[in-house]
Amino acid sequence: MTWKKYCTTLLGLSLGAIIFYVGVAEWMLHRLNEAHVGDDAAISMQIEDNALYGSALTGDVAFLKYGVISRIKPDILALGTSRSMQFRAPFFKDATFYTVGGLGDSVDAMEDVFDCVCSSYTPKIVIFAVDWDWLNPNYAHNKSSHVFEEKNMLSNKAYVYKCLYQALWQNKNVREQLLRPAIRERDVIGDHPTIGLLAGVKSEGFRADGSFQYGDAILHPRSIEERFEDTRKRIREGNRRFENADHIDADELLKLASFIHKMKSHGCHVLVLLPPFPNEIYQRFMDSEGHGRFILQFEQSVQELCMKQNVPFYDFSDMAWLDAPDEEALDGFHASERTYGRIVLQFESDSVIAPYIDKEFVEKCMSDSNSPIQIVPAGM
């Protein structure tokens, strides 16, 4: 065989292998309801069709959230960790709303998110949920989070294919769904189009307003004992965001103060809140030798910081302070949509956001729903 013929044959085999690899991957993505993951179509489907987005291949939703934000440019933005993902757009009127919650777990990460948002527009109001672990000197924060870097963009098909083959290797449930799919095109809770395996199987994922629909918690609620078991263990062992500490990180507090000032300097009206824990968990926290002193210092320091900057401050650390029973908790440190409805009603004390709160709607939802978890009508 001549060298030229050898190279031609090798090139043909390589191209054939690539075509086969891509073809099989695309077939599997469609079969798993993951074909639109990382695609601009996912953003359009959320905005236009209120689609539910829940991928089993990757938890990277920066692409989706930033894509939606850059298009709808919400007047009111909720910023924080996953503990800010139960604010809902229907709680507000005469203003657009979106929660960008879940894209980081530190002050640095929050500032990265805000900077990326402001590259396309500036929100009028920012509801900023500050978490206790950001100021814990013994917790390994994600200090270098660049959530919108191109390497994290799901539109890169090669990245999606990589996630697909990794999931097939590591996740038994994904393999089973590929062989015997039980995927719904519309979720059973809100009857929305589904994007992704989790959305299609568990009705779990991100709604069009950025909030997260906990399908299992709504469809198959667990006992309080089961919901709080993991958090109790974290507090007891002092790990996974609940590391023991007796003082706050002064450097991180300065970063927090600087970031809040930065948002104000952009013309944003900022409201700061401390998200709620179930009463039982909060009391365990406060009674714990490794946490109580730290939590008190954390609460007092953030309050003083806000007072100095004339920023509205709301401490909702204990759900009981909102007259919310522990049944309204999704787990040991995530409160439900119902509790966040209670929080929004408390914002009426702020003259800037008050005109945008749909008090009548929120109160009606809380009255009409018999669920401790979900109050907004499922189709919204």
Predicted local distance difference test score (pLDDT) of residue 84? 98
CA-to-CA distance for 157 and 163, rounded, in angstroms?
A: 10
Among 131, 98, 107, which residue's Cα sits nearest to residue 206? 98
Among 138, 114, 117, 149, which residue's Cα sits nearest to residue 128? 114
Predicted local distance difference test score (pLDDT) of residue 155? 52
Q: With bands split at pLDDT 50, 70 and 90, how would you rate the model's confidence at 145? A: very low
pLDDT digits (tens, 9 = 90+) for 32-65: 999 888 778 899 999 999 999 999 988 878 888 9
Tell me what the mean pLDDT of segment 82-103 comes to.
Answer: 97
Tell me what the mean pLDDT of segment 351-377 comes to.
Answer: 96
Q: In what order do the strands lie in the sheet with 194-195?
A: 194-195, 52-53, 205-206, 212-213
Helix residue ranges, H only, the chain: 3-31, 40-49, 62-72, 107-118, 157-170, 172-179, 197-202, 215-219, 224-237, 250-265, 279-287, 292-308, 337-346, 359-368
Predicted local distance difference test score (pLDDT) of residue 149? 46
Structural domains of the chain, with CATH: 61-153+221-368 (3.40.50.1110)
Asked if pLDDT for residue 69 goes beyond 50, the answer is yes
Asked if pLDDT for residue 136 goes beyond 60, the answer is yes
Q: How many residues does the structure list for the chain?
A: 380
Asked if pLDDT for residue 367 goes beyond 90, the answer is yes
Q: With bands split at pLDDT 50, 70 and 90, how would you rate the model's confidence at 6? A: low
CA-to-CA distance for 293 and 288, rounded, in angstroms?
A: 9
